[in-house]
Amino acid sequence: MPLEKRLTSELPPRCRVLVAGWAGPGYSARIAADYLVEEFRGELLAEIYSYHFPAHVTVSKEGFVEPVKCSLFKCKVEGDWLLVFSGDEEPLTPEGQFELAKEALEIATKLGVREVYIFDAVPGTRENSGEIKVACSDGALLEQLKEMGFKPLKAHRVIGVLGMLAGLASERRLRTTCLVTGTYTYFTPSGRMVADSRAAKALLEAFCKLTGLQLDLSRISREVKLTDSFIAELEAEKRRLLKVALKHEGGPSYVR
């Protein structure tokens, strides 16, 4: 079996909801999933390792080594339990993605999960960052979501583990909703990606609207402001450098 599972804490008695968010465009789905774990003080329930993950390990700042893995957290929320499934890297084959999704779903259904929420993001512009569209397991649920003001996704593919999870959960007749946000990926001049916290916040707001959960969003709101001012500073610096470069019209003397 090319999959290994390590349970790290006791199984919760019963869960209603499974949420999944993996690293992807703008990192927004992963940020949103992590935010739920942090806000609800989630506890690591299980780690899953797959032979289909990329063949490398990560060495941390502290000098520890970590294999590629994905994690399942349990969070106690308003007397109920919530499961959060997240990971950084995708298995490299559809078979590996399927196995991982199936394993997570099996744990979730054993714990009584009936609702699955998938956080996903599609690359877009700065203007549509945080614009949420939805897809779900059946037409009746879609109508309910439309009544709540959500726009449906016409044609799309949710790829990787989350796509498999959404498809398998729908096949098993679980109430499945994909929340897909537009996301804007900004790169610094040194090529580092700036995570899109605005899109992450939009995912969390949509999730709270759908589930009725109370979540303090003040911390991520501060992140959004910080990100905006950081990007504005970088843009101003870029403009300043461009002006300086344009002043030297003839270019350097050694270029003939």
Q: Could you give the C-alpha distances from 127 to 101, 123, 181, 208, 252, in angstroms and in order?
A: 32, 11, 12, 23, 38
Residue of 31, 164, 202, 204 interacting with another protein (CB under 8 A): 164
Q: What is the DSSP string of 116-148?
A: EEEEEEEE--STTTT-EEEEESSHHHHHHHHHT
Q: Does 153 bind another protein (CB under 8 A)?
A: yes
Euclidean distance between CA atoms 215 and 200, whole angstroms: 13
- How far apart are CB 249 and another protein at their closest, in Å? 43
Q: CA 50 from chain center: how many Å?
A: 20
Among 14, 173, 219, 239, binds another protein (CB under 8 A): 173
CB of 8 to another protein, least distance (A): 26
Do residues 51 and 96 make contact, with C-beta atoms less than 8 angstroms apart?
yes
Binding mask 73-112 for another protein (x = CB under 8 A): -----------------x-xxxx-xxx-------------
The residue among 224, 150, 168, 159 whose CA lies nearest residue 25 is 159
| Among 169-177, 205-213, 224-232, 247-255, the segment contacting another protein (CB under 8 A) | 169-177
Helix (H, G, I), strand (E, B) or coil at 232: helix
Residue with smaller CB distance to another protein, 123 or 167: 167
148 binding another protein? (CB under 8 A):
no
| Residue 24 interacting with another protein (CB under 8 A) | no
Please give the residue ranges that form the binding site for another protein (CB under 8 A): 90, 92-95, 97-99, 134-139, 142, 152-160, 162-164, 166-168, 170-173, 176, 178
